Structure 1
Amino acid sequence: MPDTLSSADLRHVDHWLFDLDDTLYPAETELMDLIRERIGAFIVKVTGLPWEEASQLQRGWLLQHGATLPGVLVDYDIAPAEFLDFVHDVPLDKVPRDPELDAILNILPGRKYVFTNGSAAHAERLLDHIGIADRFEGVFHLEAADLIPKPHPQTYAKMIAHFGIAPTASVFFEDSEKNLEHAAELGMTTVLVGPHAERSTAPHVQYRTHHLTPFLRAAAVKELAR
């Protein structure tokens, strides 16, 4: 199974799908750690529970629903935006602008999209901060998914219908192994991104890379746009 930069053959790709957090910027920025802390703080705020009990409650929601927000909505009378705005209210000062990634995205042949479990506002703010917002034709965010996150299969189906993509002519870049599994079942080429990627042995992961930019730079693609 190919997993090196030199063997990344993406010449069949017309549609480029990118997860947002810990994929379009380095995981080493620890931005997701800040978001997880905000999620915990929100649960404490809403439930009034001590931190440890709130953490246990969240783990139960993750097991039952696959994400925190669906559990919050089932058990508590809050608006989804209240949760999403709170947990994504984090500083971006450790996330660098990335002109090199911007330049590579600009010349990749085909249509480029973001497919994220984050909110619309979070995606807009972060893509603008990194300096790559103009490189994407669209963002499929949690609100567009009716608050049903990856890896639920219906969310992939909604995203595919929304963008009108062909899965077998698509590549999906993700930092989560489990979020790549259904993508592979649909026929997408899968790329696991992040410091953990090279340790992955999951059969549904076709390529692995620590950093996105050098992978894109080295990959074989269709004739580049001029």
Structure 2
Amino acid sequence: MSADLAPADLRHVDTWLFDLDNTLYPAECGFMGEIERRMTAYVMRVTGLDRDEAYRLQKQYLADHGLTLIGMMRHHGVDPLEFHALFHDLSLEALAHDPEMIAAIARLPGRRLIFTNADDVHAERVLARLGLSDLFEDVFHIGSSGYTPKPDPGAFAAMNAAHGIAPGLAAFFEDSERNLAPAAELGMTTVLVGPHAPACTAPFVHHRTARLADFLAGAQVREAA
């Protein structure tokens, strides 16, 4: 497990998997706060609960099912397309181009893929805003897995099957610690991202970084063919 005191040796990696929200942009920007507020308001509307109880239920479904949406689908018959539409007009002003991030991802040899529990529209909007759209081969979103979310092993199986991924040659970057456990079990190299990452002691987290761009820029990667 690396504390990022030396450059990570990622020369074996030919497939780079990245979570989207709070991974490719800093969590401190606050963008996810508005998503959470809209989600709580939606849970209130569907269930009739007050704000505090709706928020509690929202977090309970997240813990139980890996994604609030899945709990809403299973217990309240929510249409996932209706749910995702809640976020399609979100202001993206909190997100900005990061030239260091763009350059750090661009230097990675092999395939680069997004692996997100968000939907395709949200992912495409965010990537475009960040200036990263052209750097990724594909977006594997929640619909791609038939609404099986991370950290369910089924989501990883669907991702690997869709793209012919050899887990031992893949690295997965995430801000959610628990989403890295099944990746490590499969043999992927795991990297926890965000301000909480340096304090992580989970054995299935192989590398930790508070700043993704710095980590990628300093990592040892194989020479391009």
TM beyond 0.5: yes
Q: CA deviation at 1:6?
A: 2.1
Partner of 1:158: 158
In the alignment, the residues of structure 1 paired with residue 19 and residue 62 of structure 2 have an alpha-carbon distance, to the nearest angstrom, of: 20
Partner of 2:108: 108
Secondary structure of the corresponding residue to residue 37 of structure 1: helix
Q: CA deviation at 1:224?
A: 4.3
On the 8 A contact 1:16/1:170 being kept in 2, the answer is yes
Asked if 1:200 corresponds to 2:219, the answer is no
Q: CA deviation at 1:95?
A: 0.9
Asked if 1:119 corresponds to 2:119, the answer is yes
Q: Percent same amino acid among aligned pairs?
A: 51
Q: CA deviation at 1:197?
A: 0.4
On the 8 A contact 2:117/2:142 being kept in 1, the answer is yes
Q: Could you list the runs of 5+ residues in structure 1 that have no partner in the other structure?
A: none
Q: CA deviation at 1:62?
A: 3.0
On the 8 A contact 1:104/1:217 being kept in 2, the answer is yes
Partner of 2:54: 54
Partner of 1:167: 167
Q: CA deviation at 1:52?
A: 1.8
Deviations 1:42-100, CA, capped at 9 Å, x for gaps: 11122222112222332442343232111211233432111111145421111111222
On the 8 A contact 1:5/1:215 being kept in 2, the answer is no
Deviations 1:171-211, CA, capped at 9 Å, x for gaps: 00000110000100100001000000001011111111011
On the 8 A contact 2:183/2:190 being kept in 1, the answer is yes
After superposition, the Cα gap between the structure-2 partners of 1:131 and 1:208, relative to the gap in structure 1 and judged at 3 Å, is same
Q: Could you list the runs of 5+ residues in structure 2 that have no partner in the other structure?
A: none
After superposition, the Cα gap between the structure-2 partners of 1:120 and 1:5, relative to the gap in structure 1 and judged at 3 Å, is farther
RMSD between aligned alpha carbons? Answer: 1.5
In the alignment, the residues of structure 1 paired with residue 132 and residue 157 of structure 2 have an alpha-carbon distance, to the nearest angstrom, of: 26
More divergent stretch after superposition (102-111 vs 128-137): 102-111
Partner of 1:84: 84
AA matched with 1:184: A
TM-score, with length taken from structure 1: 0.94
In the alignment, the residues of structure 1 paired with residue 74 and residue 185 of structure 2 have an alpha-carbon distance, to the nearest angstrom, of: 30
Partner of 2:13: 13
Partner of 1:95: 95
In the alignment, the residues of structure 1 paired with residue 7 and residue 77 of structure 2 have an alpha-carbon distance, to the nearest angstrom, of: 50
In the alignment, the residues of structure 2 paired with residue 190 and residue 29 of structure 1 have an alpha-carbon distance, to the nearest angstrom, of: 24
Q: CA deviation at 1:5?
A: 5.2
On the 8 A contact 1:8/1:219 being kept in 2, the answer is yes
Secondary structure of the corresponding residue to residue 161 of structure 2: helix
Deviations 1:89-118, CA, capped at 9 Å, x for gaps: 421111111222222222211100000011
Partner of 1:71: 71
Partner of 1:34: 34
In the alignment, the residues of structure 1 paired with residue 163 and residue 157 of structure 2 have an alpha-carbon distance, to the nearest angstrom, of: 10
On the 8 A contact 1:35/1:88 being kept in 2, the answer is no
Secondary structure of the corresponding residue to residue 109 of structure 1: coil
More divergent stretch after superposition (136-145 vs 44-53): 44-53
Deviations 1:22-60, CA, capped at 9 Å, x for gaps: 110111111112211111011112222211222233244
AA matched with 1:217: A
Alignment coverage as a number of residue pairs: 225
Secondary structure of the corresponding residue to residue 139 of structure 1: strand
